[in-house]
Chains A and B, each alone.
Chain A
Amino acid sequence: NAGVTQNPKFQVLKTGQSMTLQCAQDMNHNSMYWYRQDPGMGLRLIYYSASEGTTDKGEVPNGYNVSRLNKREFSLRLESAAPSQTSVYFCASSEWTGSVGDTQYFGPGTRLTVL
């Protein structure tokens, strides 16, 4: 099992460009998440999908859109990139059986720089 995979690993964009970050999991998990990690800020939730067909905003959703393409895949789109979106982006998934204690498993991250 590959677990949670993310593409690309690195990306440099110019202000105003758009791009989609890809995430896939092969653990048959119901829930998927996008976080960003910034120095001194820890990880912050951008969007999540509790189950296939649903998506919800997290703590910092502005400037992002998501698509839960199917149970395996959850993509994050930046429509018009801004320097403030320079960050490391992590995708995660969990089984979510509805009870506390379902562990989230993380991908290796995408390092995005917006110039």
Chain B
Amino acid sequence: SQELEQSPQSLIVQEGKNLTINCTSSKTLYGLYWYKQKYGEGLIFLMMLQKGGEEKSHEKITAKLDEKKQQSSLHITASQPSHAGIYLCGADMSMYSGGGADGLTFGKGTHLIIQP
């Protein structure tokens, strides 16, 4: 079974609209990372959350980690064509590893398409 579930799998949004992507686990997430991947390219680090209830923002993107540290959301406000791509959440599933010293567990990704 997938330890990290991302939803939705794909999302088509009209330019200027807001959207939310979710990442959920049945286990505690000791570090939660959001990455963006443009088609055919590598992963670009967006944000990292560690503490329950933590929220971080960068430009029009806000990421939150719930109090139980089992769910994270990524919210994009007033979407733009530059936001299109694949959004991946990755997590430390062990409290004993840092930066996933034994690797991160990833969700399957959310494909975001922005319609003009």
Contact = CB atoms under 8 A, between A and B. Distances in A.
Given A42-B106, A100-B50, A107 B98 contact: no
Interface in A1-37: 4, 31, 33, 35
A5 to B, nearest CB: 10
Contacts, number: 85
Contact of B43 (A50, A58, A94, A106): A106
A40 interface: yes
Q: How large is the interface on B (under 10, 10 to 19, 20 to 34, 35 or more residues)?
A: 20 to 34
Contacts of A102: 98-99, 101
A96 B42 contact: no
B102 interface: yes
B106 A100 contact: no
A33 B109 contact: no
Interface in B7-49: 30-31, 33, 35, 40-45, 48
Given A43-B106, A56-B102, A58-B103, A104 B97 contact: no
A42 B107 contact: yes
A109 B103 contact: no
Contacts of A31: 99, 101
Contacts of B90: 43, 104
Nearest to B29: A100
A100 B30 contact: yes
A47 to B, nearest CB: 9
9 contacts: A35-B103, A50-B101, A56-B102, A58-B103, A92-B43, A101-B99, A103-B33, A103-B48, A103-B99
Given A96-B101, A103-B33, A104-B104, 11 more contacts: A31-B101, A41-B108, A90-B42, A94-B100, A97-B99, A98-B98, A98-B101, A101-B98, A106-B42, A107-B42, A109-B41
Interface of B: 2, 30-31, 33, 35, 40-45, 48, 50, 88, 90, 92, 95, 97-104, 106-109
